[in-house]
Amino acid sequence: MASSLASPSPTSSFIRNKKDLGVSAFPSTSQIAIQKCKKQASKKIVSVMAPQQSERKPATTGSVKTGMTMTEKILAKASEKPRLSPGDNVWVNVDILMTHDVCGPGSIGIFKKEFGQNAKVWDREKIVIIPDHYIFTSDERANRNVDILRDFCTEQNIKYFYDIKDLSNFKANPDYKGVCHVALAQEGHCRPGEVLLGTDSHTCTAGAFGQFATGIGNTDAGFVLGTGKLLLKVPPTLRFVMDGEMPPYLLAKDLILQIIGEISVAGATYKAMEFVGTTVESLNMEERMTLCNMVVEAGGKNGVVPADSTTFKYLEGKTSLPYEPVYSDAQASYLSEYRFDISKLEPLVAKPHSPDNRALARECKDVKVDRVYIGSCTGGKTEDFLAAAKVFLASGKKVKVPTFLVPATQKVWLDLYALPVPGSGGKTCSQIFEEAGCDTPASPSCGACLGGPKDTYARMNEPKVCVSTTNRNFPGRMGHKEGQIYLASPYTAAASALTGYVTDPREFLQ
């Protein structure tokens, strides 16, 4: 007869058996305390031989009940299963499919090839199409991509197509939004408990709303266009507990760079990354979006933050559709847990040529910079520009290198000219940027984050050194293959623009 082991306690089997390891992220330079815990099986044996007992029917014994994580619950609901475990393969009902000008034409081509030239999409109101990547360019092929999207949306009567026709003046296009991941949130397409798939690796940004959001390829998107379903493998979950008061010189970009530096760009491969703790709870929605945005730079399948009052308040007036938040069970099992005391963290950068090439900003103070770029789905939101303006305002100085500003969306662009910066006496971001000598805020788009056509605004066409609020710093990412990109928060980017060197923002914020 099988041996009997100790029954699980009400708390997570992982947490119950955790073995805390004190590790310093920067042993020689920093005292950031990190506790890393790994799941272990209980070794306490209660009995080797179970006592003889009368046979019971299976119907009365039932199965052992274990909890589920947020990601497992969302996928269970979407696949109409009572419960799921990591490794399960299930057909998932998709709530929202997003595509854009780079991957949309390919996805449409596959849809038509496999379902027929006259086929209709599964649900015209659950497809969101957002031109945003290669927009403000004279490149004919890039322009043609947007034309393909427009023709398809007209043919299929797609409800949510954010079109742009007049490239000379983005403001003449009321439907045009800009960067898809920020527009999805602003337009109310992100809702707790749902499944959102997109043909872009940074679709994981939407996990900030307590939903399952991940990037997919054109072939998968073509299938979803026709069926509204996709076969997905349930990922195991890594849990990141961040506690402590957020210092006034840190932003969410520092938090995610810390995590990626800790676990590496492959550390979360096909895993869910769940973010909890008092620090996470204190973040506004746009900062939570930054946190989830870069989980893919750690190889993550998706990132997720539990929905709370901050989430619900943000969604007010943005969506009229009902939604049902889900939360991880207390007894859920995690592959690993990482704990951070954020109060001890210092401003960080990721040096060339990898997002996990982590360093303290102050350690790079001798790195001369040629330019600064503030923009993208990661660092081009309203809160990102308010943060940069705060540094410029505190310094009262002018930038020493070209500083490019690319708002993510039309709404962000408008905010730069309308919202007063706290403590500025009523000045807007645009006024502060002008006084600091920055470039005029550009037309909203993905811009030079991923290079793009040669005439893309702020593209690195020469081998320069750039401090950027974007998400990737691989060779050639922003244009020239010999360019060097230092990933940083808007605070650090602004501080670096003022000195011409990679600079710790505490030089201006303390």
- Say if CB 291 and CB 257 are below 8 A apart: no
Residue ranges of E strands in 111-200: 127-130, 160-161, 195-198
- pLDDT for 436 equals 98
- The whole-number average pLDDT for the span 501-509 is 98
- pLDDT for 29 equals 37
- The whole-number average pLDDT for the span 31-36 is 42
pLDDT at 8 over 60: no
Distance CA 135, CA 184 (A): 18
Distance CA 142, CA 158 (A): 21
Closest alpha carbon to 374 in 282, 457, 303: 457
pLDDT at 479 over 80: yes
CATH topology for 92-233 is Aconitase; domain 3 (3.30.499)
pLDDT at 47 over 80: no
Instruction: For the chain, give the number of residues.
Output: 510
- The whole-number average pLDDT for the span 116-125 is 98
Q: Which are the contacts of 198, defined by CB distance < 8 A and separation ≥ 6?
A: 97, 98, 99, 180, 181, 184, 213, 214, 215, 216
Q: Which are the contacts of 441, defined by CB distance < 8 A and separation ≥ 6?
A: 405, 406, 407, 413, 416, 430, 433
- pLDDT for 244 equals 97
Q: Which are the contacts of 319, defined by CB distance < 8 A and separation ≥ 6?
A: 188, 189, 191
- pLDDT for 346 equals 98
- pLDDT for 1 equals 39
Residue for token pair 């403001």: 171
**CA gyration radius for the chain?**
24
Q: Which are the contacts of 419, defined by CB distance < 8 A and separation ≥ 6?
A: 382, 386, 428, 429
- The whole-number average pLDDT for the span 193-211 is 98
Q: What is the pLDDT of residues 209-236, one digit of tens each?
A: 999 999 999 999 999 999 999 999 999 9
Closest alpha carbon to 348 in 196, 492, 181, 203: 492
> CA distances (Å), 315 to each of 160, 259, 303, 309, 475, in order?
18, 28, 19, 10, 38
Degrees (nearest 5) of the Cα angle 433, 374, 252?
A: 110
| Assigned token pair, 354 | 């990898």
Q: What is the pLDDT of residues 410-420, one digit of tens each?
A: 999 999 999 99
Beta pairing, strands 272-276 & 302-304: parallel
- The whole-number average pLDDT for the span 423-437 is 97
- pLDDT for 50 equals 39
The pLDDT-based confidence of 510 (bands split at 50, 70, 90) is: confident
Range 464-493 burial, b when 16+ CB lie within 10 A, else e: bbbbbbbbbbeeebbbbeebbbbbbbbbbb
Percent of the chain residues past pLDDT 70, beyond the cut: 87
| Mean pLDDT lowest among 7-16, 77-86, 341-350, 441-450 | 7-16
> Is the bond leading into 353 cis (omega within 30 degrees of zero)?
yes
Facing residues of 348 across strands? Answer: 360
Which pTM value belongs to this model? 0.88
- pLDDT for 64 equals 52
Sequence ranges of the domains in the chain: 92-233, 236-321+329-343, 349-507
Expressed in angstroms, the distance from the first to the final Cα of the chain is 68
- The whole-number average pLDDT for the span 88-93 is 98
CATH topology for 349-507 is Aconitase; domain 3 (3.30.499)
Q: Which are the contacts of 429, defined by CB distance < 8 A and separation ≥ 6?
A: 385, 386, 388, 389, 415, 416, 417, 419, 421
Q: What is the pLDDT of residues 377-398, one digit of tens each?
A: 999 999 999 999 999 999 999 9
CATH of span 236-321+329-343: 3.40.1060.10
Distance CA 38, CA 336 (A): 5
Q: What is the pLDDT of residues 341-377, one digit of tens each?
A: 999 999 999 999 999 999 999 999 999 999 999 999 9
Percent of the chain residues past pLDDT 90, beyond the cut: 87
Query: For the purposes of burial, counting CB atoms within 10 Å of the CB of 362, is it exposed (0-12), middle (13-18) or buried (19 or more)?
Result: middle
pLDDT at 281 over 60: yes
- Say if CB 282 and CB 312 are below 8 A apart: no
Mark out the alpha helices in 17-170 (DSSP H runs).
58-61, 70-78, 104-115, 140-156
Distance CA 325, CA 382 (A): 26
pLDDT at 20 over 90: no
pLDDT at 283 over 90: yes
- pLDDT for 62 equals 45
Same topology for domains 92-233 and 236-321+329-343, yes or no? no
- The whole-number average pLDDT for the span 107-116 is 98
Beta pairing, strands 45-47 & 4-5: antiparallel
- pLDDT for 66 equals 82
- pLDDT for 65 equals 64
| Assigned token pair, 456 | 């893309």
| Assigned token pair, 404 | 């490019």
pLDDT at 79 over 50: yes
Residue 31: what residue type?
A: Q
| Assigned token pair, 408 | 């993510």
Query: For the purposes of burial, counting CB atoms within 10 Å of the CB of 335, is it exposed (0-12), middle (13-18) or buried (19 or more)?
Result: middle
Greater confidence, 1 or 165? 165
Dihedral angle, C-alpha 230, 233, 234, 239, nearest 10 ° = -110
Distance CA 144, CA 158 (A): 19
For the chain, give the mean pLDDT: 90
